[in-house]
Structure formats: C-alpha cells, structure tokens
Amino acid sequence: MEVKGIITAMLTPLDENQEINSRSTKQLVNKLINSGVSGIFILGTNGEFHLLTNDEKLSFAKIVIDEVNKRVPVYVGTGGNSTREVIELSKKMEALGADALSVITPYFLVPSQSEVIQHYKTIAESVKIPIVLYNIPKNTGINLDPETVKELAKIKNIIAIKDSSGNLENIAEYIQITKDEDFSVLSGSDSLILRALKIGATGAIAATSNLITDLDVSIYEKFLKGDIAGAEKAQQEIEILRTVLKLGTVPSILKKAVQMSGISVGPARLPVAQPKQEVVKKIQEMLDCYNL
C-alpha cells in the first residue's frame, strides 16, 4: 500500500452538546472525496484525538469507514502513551475495517529512541494492517531520529511517516535514510507540501484540505504534471488560510471556517474556546479571498 497524494487530516464534527455529529461527518467525508483527496486521516491533532474517549473514537471511526466505503483509504489515529492501550485500540480499529493506522509517538513522557522502537515494534506485531508513524515534536517533546525511522521502516507493516516537525531537513533525512525500503515520507506541514514533493516525499497529510480541498489537491496534481509554476502559485495561496489559523488554539479556527463555509462541524471541544468576534471577521475575510 503506497501512501501518496493529498490526504486530509480530517476534523471531528461535533454538535452543540459536544457530541459526535454523524450527519456532518458524512457530509465532510463526501465533500473531501468528491474534491479528489487520496485518503482520509482521522483522529489526528486536528481531529482532537486527545480530547475523545476510546468509545467515541470507535464510534466516529465506524461512521467514517462506513461512509467512505472503500472509495479511498482511511487512516485512523490510535496513538497514545501506553503501548498496551494503543494495541487494544489498534486491534479494535482493524476489526472495524480501518485501512491503516496512524500512531503518534508517546507524549508528555519523553521516551528514549530505543524505547520508541520497542513501542512501535510491539504495536506492529499486534495487527496485520499497515502503520503510519506520526512525528510532531513541538506537541510531543520527542523527535524521531532518522536512524530510528530507518530501523522501523524495515518492519513489514510500518509503511510511512507523517512528519509535522515543520523542518524540511528532517523530511529530507527520512527520505534519504529509507530509500532502500518500501516506505513513504509525507509532509504533515501544509506550508511544505511542494518543497517536500520536490525532494521525494510522496504526498502530504494536510489539515487545510478540510477547507481548501481543491487548492491542496491541485498542488499535488500540478506537481505530477510538471506544472511547477502552477503548483508554486497554489502553495502560496494556502498562506492566506494559514495566517488566520494562527489566531486561535488548534482546531478552533479551522472548525469555525469550515462551519462558515457550510458544513456544521461545530466548535472544538473544551477547553478550546470558540474564536472571538474580531477573529470571526478575519475568518470571513479569508473565506471571501477563496470565494467560499
């Protein structure tokens, strides 16, 4: 299974009672697939995995997997701090029909690289489906060393890494060190999609594609066709959204923007607050720029 293209790091739609909104989830899934995404990645950072119970994760994953109905691969986040807990959730997601799992490094505690290798090996042995490593050091306090990734890439069902370090050198090192393995490197930083593709990344797992799906997909498609100038232009246009995203805690701004563009994904889960009125005004100006 090659992991490639623009894969949406999908939001988790909630209703006014902060419960999972099944109707809006299906609506968002279909919008993304109809706009040409190559996959859907749920229960990541923008999917608020850290604020959901395991039961909620399972019921949300079931809605998404059933609605996608094999049209594109569904990557499901099952990461956590306890190896045992990750295995338990991973087995349940495999049974639900997930195409692959995404496993973030443990966070809060800072394990050594050898502990991380053991963590991932044990998880990989517990399931048959593929695993995508997820590196986001600014949130977890740990960066996966290239040597660690090289070691993990040798494991048959560890097939890719999403790198959200924001560091192009990190991505370049992962690509270089795993070139002899059947392994994909994806940018998890939306500002680096094109630059990562140019050095050998196979795609990106992009949260901005919840809103500006066509634009993100066009970066990849134009790059494949050799229209680098067109891809550069599309990459630059993402910045209008990214500038506004910095005005609130993840994923409050993105949720509000998607909400205002017509899919009621609801607010972020508390303690993340809704954007204030002056920020909502800036969100509206941004949406106007994209004609959304």
Residues annotated as part of the active site: 134, 162
In 3-state terms, what secondary structure has residue 180?
Answer: coil
35 within 8 A of 214, measured Cβ to Cβ: yes
DSSP letter assigned to residue 155: S
Tokens describing residue 137 = 């050091």
Q: Which residue has the tokens 């968002």?
A: 28
Q: Which residues pair with residue 205 across a beta bridge?
A: 7
- 203: closest CA among 53, 167, 217? 217
- 114: closest CA among 147, 79, 159, 160? 147
Tokens describing residue 64 = 């998404």
DSSP letter assigned to residue 228: H
Crossing angle between the packed helical segments 252-260 and 228-245, to the nearest 10 degrees = 110
